[in-house]
Structure 1
Amino acid sequence: MIHPTDSVEHLAKRLGIGPSQVTEAEGKLAALGLIRSSPGGGWVAISPESAADELLGPAEQDILRKRIAMAATRARLHALTGDYLEARSMRSTRSNIEIIQGLHNVLAVIDDLARTATKSIDVFIPGTLSETGIRSAERLDLETLARGVMLRTMLQHSARKKPGAAQYAATITAAGAQVRSITSLPARLLIYDRNCAVLPLDPEVTGRGVALVRDPAVLSFVQRLFDHYWARALVFSEAEPDSGPAPTGVDREVLLLMASGKKNETIAHQLGMSVRSVSRIVSALLERLDADSRFQAGVRAAQNGWLS
């Protein structure tokens, strides 16, 4: 049996280890509070339970104080919910168009609208999202979908070639969102519950701010605009139609005039061709585009990027 007052050398000899190892072990045990120096020399062993209480007690008390402070702060903030909802309601009725400037303010408003939506959210996302934008949008979208809100998101065909955007589309689709794509979109657009739309102040300049629109007439137009693009878009998970290379020369001229609504007779007159030749080219274009009408052909030609 090892006596508490045994010297380092004595302990090392009894244990069959070096003195430095004994000193190192004593240091570790002392740091954990498992041994304490004795007034009579040597060490006194302390039970692990007592050592834990002495070592961790102050930290546990500090954590308890912080939890109490957090609970009190949370209660004070929750107590303001009624005032916030009343103020938000007053803001909505006071002005049909509200201008929001500053990136942090815009993000806060979008976050608030997404969290309080109860029925539907419709979104245009032109161009490509940054990695930060994808993470932010995905987080909000998944939270929204989990509450049973219907989400319809429109991307551009070019997003299919971006791994981040494609993964974002796959993730929210798996969670219940509907995602489609189209060749081009006019601007960033968000519509919440069909009663509030978020529009950029300047579609050409990022960061200028947004307008919150609640005017019924404007909302009706914006919703029809979204539905117009949605009806002509492709489901994002489907492959893009492959109609071969874009037409060139006379075929392209006929396509552009046909897409602008011109009749075969008018196209023939403008291009100095016979009506029969124009009809033959139009038929070939309809077949290439697998279209049943000139209008459908124009839509698919736009989706293929043939009209740009």
Structure 2
Amino acid sequence: MTELCEEGGRLYAAALRAGRISREDAEPAPCLLEFALLHPDPDDPDWLRPVPPAVALAQRLTPLEREITERRRKALDIAETFEPFMALSGQPVSSSDSITVLEGSERINTALNLATAQCRTEVLTVQPSGRISEESLLRGLERDKPLIERGVRIRTLYQHTARYSQEKLAYAAHLADGKVEYRSIDELVERLIICDDTVAFIPARDDQQVALELRHPGLVRYLIKVFEFMWSRAVPLSVGTPYEPAPDGITEIQHSIAKLLVEGHVDEAIARRLGMNVRTCRAHIAKLASALGSGSRAQLGYLIARSGILEQDP
């Protein structure tokens, strides 16, 4: 079993918040026990206590570590095999060589594995919010652990909503190291991976099945500057929270929502851009309306503009 069922995820989150869950309530989600996410409460046999997500993640990753080590060795062997041939291309890069279309997840992952195996200094990544599957987690570890062991620096940008994702928090904790930094920001448009100042990868289609491999020096430098711009405005994942109210009673995430509301975006578009579900987005809009004393959606836009909150730094 590789996926935690939806009901299991909901009950596990509830157990983490409450500190325990009754055996009866946990029965609809047997995946919780299969994942070893609950253990008996020593003080009361009718209750179960949740295993901390970082511990649960480590337990599930342990049997995969040997596979990761073997794949890492193969990836390095492949990179060393092709490195002399890549060095032969001493002529200037043409426009046709600098942008490569990668179709299909297998070809995309092969190109990413080769690029990270050759990386020597730093990897920059932008990861808009979304649930991490175990398959994606394994691929990430396959690429990230060898980099850390070689002393390569890794900086990753998430959206603020990642702070409520147990998978992302546990993944960050598992790779916590002086060379690895995680920050979050309110809005990220698309995924981005940059290796050194040599190659960048961006998606070319919403279903993530087509990507572009960019090797033009000018394009890569531009994307690095875009990353640094966002990084300077992001908040370390381990410090503070953008969901705490500012002195005006409005959180940073609500400032972001207010800006998008004034720009005319509908709830669904706002939720998509900020990496949250529509129900959560509407809950923030309701809190924003309450803070500003708005009685209707039309009045809310007027009060946002009149309040001057968009002219302040949240």
TM-score when normalising by structure 2:
0.52
Q: Secondary structure at the match of 1:174?
A: coil
Equivalent AA in structure 2 for residue 108 of structure 1: T
- 1:231 maps to 2:232: yes
Contact persistence 1:134–1:165 (CA under 8 A): no
Equivalent AA in structure 2 for residue 216 of structure 1: P
Q: What's the CA shift for 1:83?
A: 5.9
Q: What's the CA shift for 1:234?
A: 0.6
Q: Secondary structure at the match of 1:153?
A: strand
Are residues 175 and 141 of structure 1, via their aligned partners in 2, closer, same or farther at CA, if it must alter by over 3 Å?
Answer: farther
Distance in 2 (alpha carbons) for counterparts of 1:181 and 1:135: 22
Distance in 1 (alpha carbons) for counterparts of 2:100 and 2:117: 19
Q: What's the CA shift for 1:220?
A: 2.0
Q: What's the CA shift for 1:112?
A: 1.0
- 1:144 maps to 2:157: no
Are residues 296 and 98 of structure 1, via their aligned partners in 2, closer, same or farther at CA, if it must alter by over 3 Å?
Answer: same
Specify the alignment match of 1:179 in structure 2: 182
Q: What's the CA shift for 1:296?
A: 2.5
User: Unaligned 5+ residue runs, structure 1?
Assistant: 1-73, 261-270, 272-276, 287-293, 298-308
Distance in 1 (alpha carbons) for counterparts of 2:127 and 2:114: 19
Q: Which structure would you say has the larger RCO, counting Cα contacts within 8 Å and 6 or more residues apart?
A: 2
Q: What's the CA shift for 1:162?
A: 1.4
Specify the alignment match of 1:111 in structure 2: 113
- 1:201 maps to 2:218: no
Distance in 2 (alpha carbons) for counterparts of 1:278 and 1:201: 36
Equivalent AA in structure 2 for residue 296 of structure 1: D
Contact persistence 2:101–2:211 (CA under 8 A): yes
Contact persistence 1:131–1:164 (CA under 8 A): no
TM-score when normalising by structure 1:
0.53
Matches within 5 A, 1:214-253: 214-241=215-242, 242-243=244-245, 246=250
Distance in 1 (alpha carbons) for counterparts of 2:305 and 2:186: 27
Q: What's the CA shift for 1:240?
A: 0.8
Q: What's the CA shift for 1:187?
A: 0.7
Equivalent AA in structure 1 for residue 120 of structure 2: T
Distance in 2 (alpha carbons) for counterparts of 1:126 and 1:162: 12
Q: Secondary structure at the match of 2:190?
A: coil
Specify the alignment match of 1:296 in structure 2: 313
Aligned-residue Cα RMSD (Å) equals 3.6
Q: What's the CA shift for 1:91?
A: 6.5
Matches within 5 A, 1:23-172: 84-89=82-87, 93=93, 95-128=97-130, 129-172=132-175
User: Unaligned 5+ residue runs, structure 2?
Assistant: 1-72, 264-297
Equivalent AA in structure 1 for residue 192 of structure 2: L
Contact persistence 1:157–1:182 (CA under 8 A): yes
Distance in 1 (alpha carbons) for counterparts of 2:307 and 2:82: 63
Task: Deviation per CA, 1:3-56: give whole Å up to 9, x if none.
Answer: xxxxxxxxxxxxxxxxxxxxxxxxxxxxxxxxxxxxxxxxxxxxxxxxxxxxxx
Are residues 173 and 122 of structure 1, via their aligned partners in 2, closer, same or farther at CA, if it must alter by over 3 Å?
Answer: same
Number of matched pairs? 191
Which structure's CA Rg is the greater one? 1
Distance in 2 (alpha carbons) for counterparts of 1:142 and 1:295: 41
Distance in 2 (alpha carbons) for counterparts of 1:223 and 1:237: 24
